[in-house]
């Protein structure tokens, strides 16, 4: 209205909002819950996280980081990769892969939930957001904010990864691929 040359007081705006059943902005922000956010955006939500597993290699026991992305509405899981060293270049390539416009797992998604792990760096989030997907960083130490992917991580560890001794990263990748085939 100001652009049209009309001056309206804050009280008038508040009365108009109240008449239409809309709370003032500070109250709206406080009333929005995580549950209502999830329900409102369920079909366009995905989440990303790591798990780790020990693998025997020629050089001895190595910790391998496994990156998964989940489409929350369908619980469809994508194995985004594994590495012993999830450094910045590896993470950025993973971000480019999952956000690819033609065949990326995040096609048609609007939000990607992630914890505050430093591997999900500003550069990682920037690549994700360049494709129109908002990177939503969850509060510290809040696994209940991402329960679906956390439950999947528990399942894959208990039902697969902790039952096998892996010799080399390739055997781990094959087991993960086989698990995902049966998981869906």
Task: Give the SS3 label for residue 66.
Answer: strand
Query: What is the Cα–Cα distance from 40 to 180, expressed in whole angstroms?
Result: 28
Residues 47 and 58: beta-carbon distance below 8 Å? no
Q: Give domain limits for the chain.
A: 2-31, 39-183
Do 155 and 184 touch, CB atoms closer than 8 A?
no
Q: Which two tokens stand for residue 17?
A: 């909002």
Confidence of residue 55 (pLDDT cuts 50, 70, 90): very high
For 71-85, the pLDDT digits (tens) are 999 999 999 999 999
pLDDT at 66 over 80: yes
Confidence at 96, pLDDT banded by 50, 70, 90? very high
Give, in words, the CATH class of 39-183: alpha beta
Instruction: Return the pLDDT at 24.
Output: 66
Q: What is the pTM of this model?
A: 0.77
């Amino acid at each position: 209205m100001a652009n049209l040359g009309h001056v309206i007081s804050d009280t008038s705006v508040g009365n108009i909002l109240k008449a239409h059943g809309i709370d003032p902005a500070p109250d709206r922000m406080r009333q929005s819950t995580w549950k209502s956010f999830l329900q409102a955006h369920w079909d366009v939500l995905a989440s990303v996280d790591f798990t780790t597993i020990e693998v025997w290699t020629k050089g001895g026991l190595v910790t391998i980081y496994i990156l998964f992305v989940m489409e929350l509405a369908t619980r469809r899981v994508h194995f985004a990769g594994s590495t012993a060293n999830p450094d910045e270049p590896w993470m950025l390539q993973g971000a480019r892969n999952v956000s690819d416009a033609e065949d990326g797992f995040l096609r048609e998604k609007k939000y990607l939930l992630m914890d505050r792990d430093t591997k999900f760096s500003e550069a990682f989030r920037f690549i994700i957001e360049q494709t129109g997907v908002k990177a939503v960083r969850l509060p510290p130490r809040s696994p209940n904010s991402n329960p679906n992917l956390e439950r999947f991580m528990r399942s894959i560890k208990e039902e697969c990864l902790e039952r096998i001794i892996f010799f080399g990263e390739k055997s781990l990748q094959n087991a993960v691929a086989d698990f995902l085939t049966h998981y869906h």
